[in-house]
Chains A and B, each alone.
Chain A
Amino acid sequence: MFIFEWIGKKILNFLNNFGLITRFFLTALKWLFRKPFRWKILVEQMVKVGVETLPVALITSGFTGMIFVVQLYLALKSFGLEAAVPAGLALAVIRELAPVLAGLVMAGRVGAAMAAELGSMRVTSQIDALKTMAVDPIHYLVTPRIFATVVMMTAITTITDFTGIFGGYVVGTVAFDLNPYQFYQDVINILEPWDIISSMIKGAVFGFFISTISCYMGFNSKGGAEGVGEATTNAVVTSMIVLLIVDYLLNLILW
Protein backbone atom coordinates (compact mmCIF):
# COMPACT_ATOMS: atom_id res chain seq x y z
CA MET A 1 0.00 0.00 0.00
CA PHE A 2 2.76 2.33 0.99
CA ILE A 3 4.22 2.36 -2.49
CA PHE A 4 0.89 3.23 -4.10
CA GLU A 5 0.29 5.98 -1.63
CA TRP A 6 3.73 7.33 -2.33
CA ILE A 7 3.28 7.19 -6.10
CA GLY A 8 -0.17 8.72 -5.74
CA LYS A 9 1.27 11.60 -3.78
CA LYS A 10 3.95 12.15 -6.36
CA ILE A 11 1.38 12.21 -9.14
CA LEU A 12 -0.87 14.60 -7.27
CA ASN A 13 2.07 16.78 -6.57
CA PHE A 14 2.87 16.75 -10.24
CA LEU A 15 -0.66 17.69 -11.22
CA ASN A 16 -0.46 20.61 -8.82
CA ASN A 17 2.70 21.67 -10.52
CA PHE A 18 1.37 21.03 -13.99
CA GLY A 19 0.29 24.60 -14.63
CA LEU A 20 3.53 25.99 -13.32
CA ILE A 21 5.62 23.62 -15.40
CA THR A 22 3.62 24.45 -18.50
CA ARG A 23 4.23 28.13 -17.95
CA PHE A 24 7.89 27.45 -17.31
CA PHE A 25 8.14 25.62 -20.60
CA LEU A 26 6.28 28.30 -22.54
CA THR A 27 8.72 30.87 -21.23
CA ALA A 28 11.62 28.69 -22.34
CA LEU A 29 9.97 28.26 -25.72
CA LYS A 30 9.45 31.99 -26.14
CA TRP A 31 13.16 32.52 -25.55
CA LEU A 32 14.03 30.00 -28.24
CA PHE A 33 12.98 32.56 -30.82
CA ARG A 34 14.71 35.54 -29.26
CA LYS A 35 18.18 36.71 -29.92
CA PRO A 36 20.87 35.84 -29.17
CA PHE A 37 20.53 32.18 -30.07
CA ARG A 38 22.96 30.49 -27.73
CA TRP A 39 24.76 28.12 -30.05
CA LYS A 40 27.74 27.58 -27.83
CA ILE A 41 25.72 26.52 -24.81
CA LEU A 42 23.48 24.40 -27.00
CA VAL A 43 26.43 22.47 -28.40
CA GLU A 44 28.00 22.13 -24.95
CA GLN A 45 24.76 20.73 -23.60
CA MET A 46 24.33 18.35 -26.52
CA VAL A 47 27.80 16.96 -25.99
CA LYS A 48 27.16 16.62 -22.28
CA VAL A 49 23.82 14.90 -22.79
CA GLY A 50 25.34 12.57 -25.37
CA VAL A 51 28.40 11.68 -23.33
CA GLU A 52 26.35 11.07 -20.21
CA THR A 53 23.63 9.00 -21.82
CA LEU A 54 24.97 7.22 -24.85
CA PRO A 55 27.29 4.59 -23.29
CA VAL A 56 24.74 3.46 -20.72
CA ALA A 57 21.91 3.59 -23.26
CA LEU A 58 23.92 1.47 -25.69
CA ILE A 59 24.75 -1.16 -23.08
CA THR A 60 21.21 -1.24 -21.72
CA SER A 61 19.53 -1.54 -25.10
CA GLY A 62 22.05 -4.06 -26.44
CA PHE A 63 21.65 -6.35 -23.45
CA THR A 64 17.89 -5.93 -23.37
CA GLY A 65 17.73 -6.96 -27.04
CA MET A 66 19.81 -10.04 -26.19
CA ILE A 67 17.74 -11.05 -23.18
CA PHE A 68 14.54 -10.32 -25.00
CA VAL A 69 15.44 -12.75 -27.80
CA VAL A 70 16.29 -15.47 -25.28
CA GLN A 71 12.87 -15.17 -23.67
CA LEU A 72 11.05 -14.70 -26.95
CA TYR A 73 12.75 -17.70 -28.49
CA LEU A 74 11.96 -19.96 -25.52
CA ALA A 75 8.36 -18.80 -25.42
CA LEU A 76 7.72 -19.09 -29.17
CA LYS A 77 9.62 -22.34 -29.64
CA SER A 78 7.05 -24.26 -27.62
CA PHE A 79 4.49 -23.24 -30.23
CA GLY A 80 6.87 -23.93 -33.08
CA LEU A 81 6.90 -20.23 -33.89
CA GLU A 82 10.59 -19.45 -33.52
CA ALA A 83 10.56 -17.99 -37.03
CA ALA A 84 8.60 -15.05 -35.61
CA VAL A 85 11.45 -14.06 -33.29
CA PRO A 86 13.06 -11.44 -35.58
CA ALA A 87 9.78 -9.68 -36.27
CA GLY A 88 8.79 -9.73 -32.61
CA LEU A 89 12.18 -8.38 -31.61
CA ALA A 90 12.11 -5.60 -34.19
CA LEU A 91 8.67 -4.35 -33.25
CA ALA A 92 9.26 -4.53 -29.51
CA VAL A 93 12.60 -2.77 -29.69
CA ILE A 94 11.62 -0.02 -32.10
CA ARG A 95 8.17 0.72 -30.76
CA GLU A 96 8.81 0.33 -27.09
CA LEU A 97 12.11 -0.83 -25.67
CA ALA A 98 14.56 1.50 -27.38
CA PRO A 99 12.80 4.80 -26.66
CA VAL A 100 11.73 3.84 -23.14
CA LEU A 101 15.13 2.53 -22.11
CA ALA A 102 16.90 5.53 -23.58
CA GLY A 103 14.38 7.75 -21.77
CA LEU A 104 14.86 6.05 -18.41
CA VAL A 105 18.63 6.21 -18.73
CA MET A 106 18.34 9.85 -19.76
CA ALA A 107 16.09 10.64 -16.79
CA GLY A 108 18.50 8.96 -14.38
CA ARG A 109 21.59 10.64 -15.68
CA VAL A 110 20.75 13.84 -17.49
CA GLY A 111 17.60 14.68 -15.53
CA ALA A 112 19.43 14.26 -12.25
CA ALA A 113 22.43 16.24 -13.47
CA MET A 114 20.31 19.13 -14.73
CA ALA A 115 18.25 19.35 -11.57
CA ALA A 116 21.37 19.23 -9.41
CA GLU A 117 23.24 21.81 -11.44
CA LEU A 118 20.40 24.32 -11.68
CA GLY A 119 19.47 23.61 -8.06
CA SER A 120 22.92 24.43 -6.81
CA MET A 121 22.97 27.57 -8.97
CA ARG A 122 19.69 28.56 -7.36
CA VAL A 123 20.74 28.06 -3.76
CA THR A 124 24.09 29.78 -4.22
CA SER A 125 22.42 32.84 -5.83
CA GLN A 126 24.02 32.22 -9.22
CA ILE A 127 20.59 32.44 -10.85
CA ASP A 128 20.01 35.77 -9.10
CA ALA A 129 23.44 36.87 -10.24
CA LEU A 130 22.51 36.10 -13.84
CA LYS A 131 19.42 38.24 -13.47
CA THR A 132 21.30 41.17 -12.02
CA MET A 133 23.71 40.88 -14.92
CA ALA A 134 20.72 41.49 -17.19
CA VAL A 135 20.68 37.98 -18.59
CA ASP A 136 17.47 36.01 -18.40
CA PRO A 137 18.24 32.74 -16.58
CA ILE A 138 15.60 30.78 -18.45
CA HIS A 139 16.99 31.98 -21.75
CA TYR A 140 20.54 31.26 -20.69
CA LEU A 141 20.11 28.02 -18.76
CA VAL A 142 16.84 26.33 -19.56
CA THR A 143 16.10 26.89 -23.26
CA PRO A 144 19.37 25.35 -24.50
CA ARG A 145 19.04 22.42 -22.11
CA ILE A 146 15.57 21.49 -23.29
CA PHE A 147 16.48 21.95 -26.93
CA ALA A 148 19.67 19.90 -26.58
CA THR A 149 17.89 17.09 -24.75
CA VAL A 150 15.14 16.82 -27.35
CA VAL A 151 17.62 16.69 -30.22
CA MET A 152 19.91 14.22 -28.48
CA MET A 153 17.09 11.97 -27.32
CA THR A 154 15.89 11.71 -30.91
CA ALA A 155 19.36 10.75 -32.06
CA ILE A 156 20.06 8.39 -29.17
CA THR A 157 16.74 6.59 -29.62
CA THR A 158 17.61 5.99 -33.25
CA ILE A 159 20.93 4.52 -32.20
CA THR A 160 19.41 2.34 -29.47
CA ASP A 161 16.85 1.10 -32.02
CA PHE A 162 19.79 -0.30 -33.86
CA THR A 163 21.79 -1.65 -30.90
CA GLY A 164 18.72 -3.31 -29.39
CA ILE A 165 18.01 -5.20 -32.59
CA PHE A 166 21.67 -5.92 -33.07
CA GLY A 167 21.94 -7.44 -29.59
CA GLY A 168 18.97 -9.68 -30.34
CA TYR A 169 20.39 -10.57 -33.73
CA VAL A 170 23.67 -11.73 -32.23
CA VAL A 171 21.96 -13.97 -29.67
CA GLY A 172 19.42 -15.27 -32.16
CA THR A 173 21.96 -16.22 -34.78
CA VAL A 174 24.78 -17.37 -32.50
CA ALA A 175 22.97 -19.04 -29.61
CA PHE A 176 19.80 -20.23 -31.33
CA ASP A 177 21.15 -20.84 -34.82
CA LEU A 178 18.59 -18.65 -36.56
CA ASN A 179 19.57 -17.99 -40.16
CA PRO A 180 21.37 -14.59 -40.24
CA TYR A 181 20.13 -13.62 -43.68
CA GLN A 182 16.55 -14.62 -42.90
CA PHE A 183 16.75 -12.75 -39.58
CA TYR A 184 17.86 -9.62 -41.37
CA GLN A 185 15.13 -9.96 -44.02
CA ASP A 186 12.42 -10.53 -41.41
CA VAL A 187 13.43 -7.43 -39.50
CA ILE A 188 13.48 -5.31 -42.63
CA ASN A 189 10.15 -6.64 -43.84
CA ILE A 190 8.20 -6.12 -40.67
CA LEU A 191 9.39 -2.56 -40.12
CA GLU A 192 7.79 0.34 -41.88
CA PRO A 193 9.19 3.85 -42.09
CA TRP A 194 6.47 5.00 -39.74
CA ASP A 195 7.81 2.67 -37.03
CA ILE A 196 11.20 4.34 -37.16
CA ILE A 197 9.69 7.80 -37.27
CA SER A 198 7.38 7.16 -34.36
CA SER A 199 10.30 5.73 -32.39
CA MET A 200 12.08 9.03 -32.92
CA ILE A 201 8.95 10.97 -32.01
CA LYS A 202 8.73 9.02 -28.78
CA GLY A 203 12.35 9.77 -28.04
CA ALA A 204 11.87 13.47 -28.72
CA VAL A 205 8.75 13.67 -26.56
CA PHE A 206 10.48 11.84 -23.70
CA GLY A 207 13.45 14.17 -23.99
CA PHE A 208 11.12 17.13 -23.81
CA PHE A 209 9.41 15.93 -20.64
CA ILE A 210 12.60 14.84 -18.91
CA SER A 211 14.44 18.09 -19.52
CA THR A 212 11.49 20.38 -18.81
CA ILE A 213 10.62 18.63 -15.55
CA SER A 214 14.24 18.37 -14.40
CA CYS A 215 15.06 21.98 -15.21
CA TYR A 216 11.89 23.10 -13.48
CA MET A 217 12.69 21.14 -10.33
CA GLY A 218 16.26 22.40 -10.20
CA PHE A 219 15.34 25.96 -11.06
CA ASN A 220 12.85 26.10 -8.21
CA SER A 221 14.91 24.35 -5.51
CA LYS A 222 14.61 25.77 -2.05
CA GLY A 223 16.91 25.69 0.91
CA GLY A 224 20.49 24.54 0.85
CA ALA A 225 22.16 21.32 -0.18
CA GLU A 226 19.22 19.37 1.16
CA GLY A 227 16.83 21.22 -1.12
CA VAL A 228 19.05 20.46 -4.10
CA GLY A 229 19.07 16.77 -3.21
CA GLU A 230 15.32 16.78 -2.91
CA ALA A 231 14.92 18.55 -6.25
CA THR A 232 17.19 16.00 -7.88
CA THR A 233 15.27 13.02 -6.53
CA ASN A 234 11.97 14.63 -7.47
CA ALA A 235 13.25 15.35 -10.95
CA VAL A 236 14.24 11.74 -11.58
CA VAL A 237 11.16 10.15 -10.02
CA THR A 238 8.72 12.55 -11.67
CA SER A 239 10.44 12.27 -15.05
CA MET A 240 10.30 8.49 -14.95
CA ILE A 241 6.65 8.29 -13.93
CA VAL A 242 5.63 10.91 -16.47
CA LEU A 243 7.69 9.13 -19.09
CA LEU A 244 5.80 5.87 -18.53
CA ILE A 245 2.41 7.58 -18.57
CA VAL A 246 3.28 9.51 -21.71
CA ASP A 247 4.59 6.32 -23.27
CA TYR A 248 1.24 4.66 -22.72
CA LEU A 249 -0.61 7.59 -24.25
CA LEU A 250 1.75 7.70 -27.21
CA ASN A 251 1.14 4.02 -27.87
CA LEU A 252 -2.54 4.80 -28.19
CA ILE A 253 -1.90 7.70 -30.53
CA LEU A 254 0.90 6.42 -32.72
CA TRP A 255 -0.30 2.91 -33.53
Chain B
Amino acid sequence: MIEIIDLHKKLGENDVLTGVNLSIKKGETLTIMGQSGCGKSVLLKHLVGILKPDKGTIKIDGIDIVNDKRIRLSDIRKKFGVLFQNSALFDSMTVWENIGFMLKEHKKLPDSKIKKIVTEKLALVGLKDIEDKSPHELSGGMQKRVALARAISMEPEIVLYDEPTTGLDPIMAEIINELIISLSKKLSITSVVVTHDIRSAYEISDRIAFLYGGKITQLGLKEDIKHTTDPKLRQFLDGSATGPIKL
Protein backbone atom coordinates (compact mmCIF):
# COMPACT_ATOMS: atom_id res chain seq x y z
CA MET B 1 0.00 0.00 0.00
CA ILE B 2 1.42 3.33 -1.09
CA GLU B 3 -0.22 6.55 0.04
CA ILE B 4 0.80 9.83 -1.54
CA ILE B 5 -0.57 12.69 0.51
CA ASP B 6 -0.72 16.30 -0.67
CA LEU B 7 2.67 16.11 -2.36
CA HIS B 8 4.26 19.39 -3.42
CA LYS B 9 7.54 19.81 -5.24
CA LYS B 10 9.16 22.80 -6.83
CA LEU B 11 12.19 22.25 -9.06
CA GLY B 12 14.02 25.40 -10.02
CA GLU B 13 11.33 27.92 -10.91
CA ASN B 14 8.90 25.21 -11.83
CA ASP B 15 6.02 24.12 -9.54
CA VAL B 16 6.03 20.54 -10.75
CA LEU B 17 3.77 18.84 -8.21
CA THR B 18 1.12 20.95 -6.48
CA GLY B 19 -0.77 18.60 -4.22
CA VAL B 20 -0.77 15.05 -5.52
CA ASN B 21 -3.06 12.67 -3.64
CA LEU B 22 -3.08 9.03 -4.63
CA SER B 23 -3.38 5.66 -2.96
CA ILE B 24 -2.01 2.60 -4.64
CA LYS B 25 -3.36 -0.69 -3.38
CA LYS B 26 -1.33 -3.76 -2.69
CA GLY B 27 -1.09 -5.98 -5.73
CA GLU B 28 -2.72 -3.61 -8.20
CA THR B 29 -1.25 -2.20 -11.36
CA LEU B 30 -1.74 1.53 -11.52
CA THR B 31 -0.73 3.52 -14.55
CA ILE B 32 0.08 7.20 -14.38
CA MET B 33 -0.41 9.07 -17.61
CA GLY B 34 0.13 12.68 -18.50
CA GLN B 35 1.86 14.99 -20.90
CA SER B 36 5.58 15.04 -21.33
CA GLY B 37 7.09 17.21 -18.63
CA CYS B 38 4.08 17.07 -16.30
CA GLY B 39 6.07 15.47 -13.50
CA LYS B 40 5.51 11.73 -13.79
CA SER B 41 9.16 10.81 -13.36
CA VAL B 42 9.48 13.34 -10.55
CA LEU B 43 6.53 11.70 -8.80
CA LEU B 44 8.06 8.22 -9.11
CA LYS B 45 11.36 9.48 -7.70
CA HIS B 46 9.52 10.63 -4.57
CA LEU B 47 8.20 7.13 -3.96
CA VAL B 48 11.70 5.77 -3.35
CA GLY B 49 12.99 8.84 -1.55
CA ILE B 50 15.33 10.07 -4.28
CA LEU B 51 13.53 13.40 -4.21
CA LYS B 52 12.18 14.92 -1.02
CA PRO B 53 8.87 16.75 -1.21
CA ASP B 54 8.61 20.40 -0.20
CA LYS B 55 5.31 19.60 1.43
CA GLY B 56 3.18 16.52 1.92
CA THR B 57 4.28 12.99 2.53
CA ILE B 58 4.41 9.41 1.35
CA LYS B 59 3.55 6.31 3.32
CA ILE B 60 4.69 2.87 2.29
CA ASP B 61 2.79 0.15 4.16
CA GLY B 62 1.90 2.76 6.76
CA ILE B 63 5.48 4.01 7.25
CA ASP B 64 6.04 7.68 6.62
CA ILE B 65 9.20 7.62 4.51
CA VAL B 66 9.55 11.39 4.43
CA ASN B 67 9.34 12.34 8.10
CA ASP B 68 9.91 9.22 10.15
CA LYS B 69 13.48 9.54 11.40
CA ARG B 70 13.60 6.02 12.84
CA ILE B 71 13.37 4.19 9.54
CA ARG B 72 16.29 3.45 7.27
CA LEU B 73 15.41 4.44 3.75
CA SER B 74 17.59 1.64 2.42
CA ASP B 75 15.36 -0.94 4.13
CA ILE B 76 12.30 0.55 2.45
CA ARG B 77 14.10 0.66 -0.88
CA LYS B 78 14.79 -3.06 -0.80
CA LYS B 79 11.07 -3.58 -1.30
CA PHE B 80 11.25 -1.72 -4.59
CA GLY B 81 12.44 -2.45 -8.07
CA VAL B 82 12.83 0.66 -10.18
CA LEU B 83 13.06 0.89 -13.94
CA PHE B 84 14.42 4.33 -14.82
CA GLN B 85 13.22 6.14 -17.90
CA ASN B 86 16.76 6.25 -19.30
CA SER B 87 17.61 2.74 -18.02
CA ALA B 88 20.49 4.06 -15.83
CA LEU B 89 22.55 0.91 -16.22
CA PHE B 90 25.97 1.06 -14.59
CA ASP B 91 28.23 1.55 -17.57
CA SER B 92 31.34 0.38 -15.75
CA MET B 93 29.77 -3.06 -15.31
CA THR B 94 28.73 -5.86 -17.61
CA VAL B 95 25.12 -6.87 -18.14
CA TRP B 96 25.27 -9.68 -15.60
CA GLU B 97 26.97 -7.51 -13.00
CA ASN B 98 24.22 -4.96 -13.47
CA ILE B 99 21.41 -7.44 -13.09
CA GLY B 100 23.17 -9.30 -10.29
CA PHE B 101 24.15 -6.13 -8.42
CA MET B 102 21.59 -6.36 -5.63
CA LEU B 103 21.94 -10.13 -5.36
CA LYS B 104 25.61 -9.62 -4.68
CA GLU B 105 25.21 -6.58 -2.43
CA HIS B 106 22.33 -7.70 -0.30
CA LYS B 107 22.11 -11.47 -0.60
CA LYS B 108 25.85 -12.13 -0.90
CA LEU B 109 25.20 -14.93 -3.36
CA PRO B 110 28.18 -16.57 -5.08
CA ASP B 111 28.80 -15.56 -8.69
CA SER B 112 27.71 -18.92 -10.09
CA LYS B 113 24.25 -18.62 -8.47
CA ILE B 114 23.95 -14.99 -9.54
CA LYS B 115 24.74 -15.85 -13.15
CA LYS B 116 22.04 -18.48 -13.14
CA ILE B 117 19.44 -16.03 -11.86
CA VAL B 118 20.64 -13.39 -14.33
CA THR B 119 20.14 -15.77 -17.24
CA GLU B 120 16.60 -16.50 -16.03
CA LYS B 121 15.75 -12.82 -15.70
CA LEU B 122 17.20 -12.08 -19.12
CA ALA B 123 15.03 -14.81 -20.62
CA LEU B 124 11.97 -13.16 -19.04
CA VAL B 125 12.68 -9.96 -20.96
CA GLY B 126 13.42 -11.82 -24.19
CA LEU B 127 17.22 -11.62 -24.16
CA LYS B 128 19.98 -14.18 -24.10
CA ASP B 129 23.74 -14.55 -24.48
CA ILE B 130 24.53 -10.95 -23.63
CA GLU B 131 25.67 -11.51 -20.04
CA ASP B 132 29.23 -10.41 -20.66
CA LYS B 133 28.44 -7.45 -22.86
CA SER B 134 28.77 -3.95 -21.60
CA PRO B 135 25.66 -1.71 -21.64
CA HIS B 136 26.99 0.60 -24.34
CA GLU B 137 27.20 -2.34 -26.72
CA LEU B 138 23.42 -2.77 -26.54
CA SER B 139 20.65 -0.96 -28.39
CA GLY B 140 18.40 1.41 -26.46
CA GLY B 141 15.58 -1.13 -26.34
CA MET B 142 17.90 -3.86 -25.16
CA GLN B 143 19.25 -1.57 -22.44
CA LYS B 144 15.71 -0.91 -21.32
CA ARG B 145 15.02 -4.62 -21.04
CA VAL B 146 18.26 -5.26 -19.17
CA ALA B 147 17.27 -2.46 -16.80
CA LEU B 148 13.90 -4.15 -16.37
CA ALA B 149 15.61 -7.45 -15.60
CA ARG B 150 17.70 -5.60 -13.03
CA ALA B 151 14.62 -4.01 -11.48
CA ILE B 152 13.01 -7.39 -10.86
CA SER B 153 16.18 -9.26 -9.89
CA MET B 154 15.33 -9.31 -6.18
CA GLU B 155 11.66 -10.16 -6.69
CA PRO B 156 10.52 -6.88 -5.18
CA GLU B 157 7.10 -6.25 -3.69
CA ILE B 158 6.66 -3.03 -5.62
CA VAL B 159 7.95 -2.24 -9.09
CA LEU B 160 8.07 1.27 -10.53
CA TYR B 161 8.23 1.28 -14.30
CA ASP B 162 9.09 4.57 -15.96
CA GLU B 163 8.07 4.15 -19.60
CA PRO B 164 8.80 0.44 -19.91
CA THR B 165 7.76 0.16 -23.54
CA THR B 166 9.04 3.43 -24.96
CA GLY B 167 11.57 2.76 -27.69
CA LEU B 168 10.60 -0.87 -28.16
CA ASP B 169 9.16 -2.35 -31.32
CA PRO B 170 5.46 -3.36 -31.10
CA ILE B 171 6.19 -7.04 -30.63
CA MET B 172 8.72 -6.44 -27.90
CA ALA B 173 6.39 -3.90 -26.28
CA GLU B 174 3.75 -6.60 -26.16
CA ILE B 175 6.20 -9.04 -24.56
CA ILE B 176 6.99 -6.47 -21.89
CA ASN B 177 3.30 -5.76 -21.31
CA GLU B 178 2.68 -9.44 -20.78
CA LEU B 179 5.68 -9.65 -18.48
CA ILE B 180 4.34 -6.81 -16.34
CA ILE B 181 0.96 -8.53 -16.16
CA SER B 182 2.38 -11.93 -15.32
CA LEU B 183 4.72 -10.53 -12.65
CA SER B 184 1.84 -8.76 -11.06
CA LYS B 185 -0.40 -11.82 -11.18
CA LYS B 186 2.13 -14.50 -10.25
CA LEU B 187 4.07 -12.67 -7.58
CA SER B 188 1.25 -10.27 -6.67
CA ILE B 189 3.61 -7.36 -7.21
CA THR B 190 2.31 -3.84 -6.81
CA SER B 191 3.11 -2.06 -10.06
CA VAL B 192 3.23 1.64 -10.75
CA VAL B 193 3.68 2.29 -14.43
CA VAL B 194 4.33 5.57 -16.15
CA THR B 195 3.61 5.44 -19.83
CA HIS B 196 2.50 7.40 -22.88
CA ASP B 197 1.55 4.19 -24.58
CA ILE B 198 -2.22 4.21 -24.25
CA ARG B 199 -2.68 0.76 -25.71
CA SER B 200 -0.26 -0.63 -23.19
CA ALA B 201 -1.98 1.26 -20.37
CA TYR B 202 -5.34 -0.29 -21.29
CA GLU B 203 -3.78 -3.70 -21.43
CA ILE B 204 -1.85 -3.81 -18.17
CA SER B 205 -3.65 -1.49 -15.77
CA ASP B 206 -6.20 -2.10 -13.09
CA ARG B 207 -6.55 1.61 -12.59
CA ILE B 208 -5.32 4.66 -14.46
CA ALA B 209 -4.43 8.06 -13.01
CA PHE B 210 -4.10 11.24 -15.03
CA LEU B 211 -1.53 13.77 -13.84
CA TYR B 212 -2.25 17.28 -15.00
CA GLY B 213 -1.14 20.66 -13.68
CA GLY B 214 0.72 19.07 -10.79
CA LYS B 215 -2.28 17.10 -9.50
CA ILE B 216 -4.02 13.82 -10.15
CA THR B 217 -7.13 15.13 -11.88
CA GLN B 218 -8.65 11.82 -12.92
CA LEU B 219 -8.45 8.39 -11.37
CA GLY B 220 -10.47 5.33 -12.12
CA LEU B 221 -10.74 1.77 -13.34
CA LYS B 222 -9.41 1.50 -16.84
CA GLU B 223 -12.88 0.84 -18.30
CA ASP B 224 -14.13 4.07 -16.75
CA ILE B 225 -11.10 6.00 -17.92
CA LYS B 226 -11.54 4.64 -21.43
CA HIS B 227 -14.99 6.17 -21.57
CA THR B 228 -14.19 9.33 -19.67
CA THR B 229 -15.97 12.52 -20.54
CA ASP B 230 -13.39 14.75 -18.88
CA PRO B 231 -12.38 17.02 -21.76
CA LYS B 232 -8.68 17.16 -20.92
CA LEU B 233 -8.23 13.46 -20.41
CA ARG B 234 -10.36 12.84 -23.52
CA GLN B 235 -8.07 15.07 -25.55
CA PHE B 236 -5.02 13.25 -24.17
CA LEU B 237 -6.42 9.78 -24.88
CA ASP B 238 -7.64 10.73 -28.35
CA GLY B 239 -4.36 12.46 -29.06
CA SER B 240 -5.89 15.56 -30.56
CA ALA B 241 -3.85 18.69 -31.03
CA THR B 242 -6.75 20.98 -30.19
CA GLY B 243 -8.71 21.03 -26.96
CA PRO B 244 -8.66 22.36 -23.43
CA ILE B 245 -5.05 21.32 -22.66
CA LYS B 246 -2.81 24.34 -22.76
CA LEU B 247 0.64 23.72 -24.17
B74 touches A124 (CB 8 A): no
Total inter-chain residue pairs, C-beta < 8 Å: 46
A143 to B78 alpha-carbon distance, docked (Å): 22
Q: A249 an interface residue at 8 Å Cβ cutoff?
A: no
Complex: chain B residue closest to A133, CB-CB = B102
A134 touches B88 (CB 8 A): no
A132 touches B105 (CB 8 A): no
Q: A128 an interface residue at 8 Å Cβ cutoff?
A: yes
Check A131/B50 contact, CB under 8 A, given A125-B84, A125-B86, A126-B91.
Answer: yes
A120 to B90 alpha-carbon distance, docked (Å): 10
Point out the residues of chain A lying under 8 angstroms from B75, CB to CB.
134
Residues from 13 to 35 in B contacting A, C-beta threshold 8 Å? none
B88 touches A124 (CB 8 A): yes
Contact with B along A111-136 (1 / 0, CB 8 A): 00000010011001110110111111
Complex: chain A residue closest to B79, CB-CB = A134
A135 to B98 alpha-carbon distance, docked (Å): 13
Q: B194 an interface residue at 8 Å Cβ cutoff?
A: no
B88 touches A131 (CB 8 A): no
A135 to B91 alpha-carbon distance, docked (Å): 17
Partner of A132, one of B77, B86, B90, B106: B77
A126 to B98 alpha-carbon distance, docked (Å): 11
Residues from 84 to 126 in B contacting A, C-beta threshold 8 Å? 84, 86, 88-92, 101-102, 105-106
B101 touches A128 (CB 8 A): no
Partner of B88, one of A125, A135, A136: A125
A129 touches B45 (CB 8 A): no
Point out the residues of chain B lying under 8 angstroms from A126, CB to CB.
88-91
B74 touches A136 (CB 8 A): yes
Q: What number of B residues sit within 8 Å (CB to CB) of A?
A: 21
A161 to B92 alpha-carbon distance, docked (Å): 34
CB distance from A221 to the nearest CB of B (A): 15
B84 touches A128 (CB 8 A): yes
Contact with B along A122-163 (1 / 0, CB 8 A): 001110110111111000000000000000000000000000
CB distance from B90 to the nearest CB of A (A): 6
A128 touches B105 (CB 8 A): no
Complex: chain B residue closest to A44, CB-CB = B92
Check A132/B48 contact, CB under 8 A, given A124-B86, A125-B84, A125-B86.
Answer: yes
B45 touches A133 (CB 8 A): no
Instruction: Determine which residue in A117, A124, A129, A132 has the highest number of CB atoms from chain B within 10 A of its CB, and name it.
Output: A132
Instruction: Determine which residue in A120, A124, A125, A135 has the highest number of CB atoms from chain B within 10 A of its CB, and name it.
Output: A125
A131 to B82 alpha-carbon distance, docked (Å): 10
B74 touches A129 (CB 8 A): no
CB distance from B164 to the nearest CB of A (A): 15
Point out the residues of chain B lying under 8 angstroms from A121, CB to CB.
90
Partner of B84, one of A117, A129, A134, A136: A129
Instruction: Determine which residue in B48, B86, B88 has the highest number of CB atoms from chain A within 10 A of its CB, and name it.
Output: B88
Complex: chain B residue closest to A123, CB-CB = B86
Complex: chain A residue closest to B76, CB-CB = A134
Check A133/B77 contact, CB under 8 A, given A128-B45, A128-B50.
Answer: yes
Point out the residues of chain B lying under 8 angstroms from A125, CB to CB.
84, 86, 88
Partner of A134, one of B78, B86, B89, B91: B78
B77 touches A134 (CB 8 A): yes
Point out the residues of chain B lying under 8 angstroms from A128, CB to CB.
45, 50, 84, 88
Complex: chain B residue closest to A136, CB-CB = B74
Point out the residues of chain A lying under 8 angstroms from B161, CB to CB.
none
Q: B210 an interface residue at 8 Å Cβ cutoff?
A: no
A135 to B154 alpha-carbon distance, docked (Å): 14
A135 touches B105 (CB 8 A): yes
B82 touches A132 (CB 8 A): yes
Q: B212 an interface residue at 8 Å Cβ cutoff?
A: no
B102 touches A134 (CB 8 A): yes
Q: B236 an interface residue at 8 Å Cβ cutoff?
A: no
Point out the residues of chain B lying under 8 angstroms from A132, CB to CB.
48, 50, 77, 80, 82
B82 touches A129 (CB 8 A): yes
A128 to B91 alpha-carbon distance, docked (Å): 14
Which 8 residue pairs are nearest across A and B when measured between Cβ atoms? Answer: A125-B88, A134-B74, A129-B88, A134-B77, A132-B82, A134-B78, A132-B48, A128-B50
A-B contact pairs, 28 of them (CB 8 A): A117-B92, A120-B91, A121-B90, A124-B86, A124-B88, A125-B84, A125-B86, A126-B88, A126-B89, A126-B90, A126-B91, A128-B45, A128-B84, A128-B88, A129-B82, A129-B89, A131-B48, A131-B77, A132-B50, A132-B77, A132-B80, A132-B82, A133-B102, A133-B105, A134-B78, A134-B102, A134-B106, A135-B105
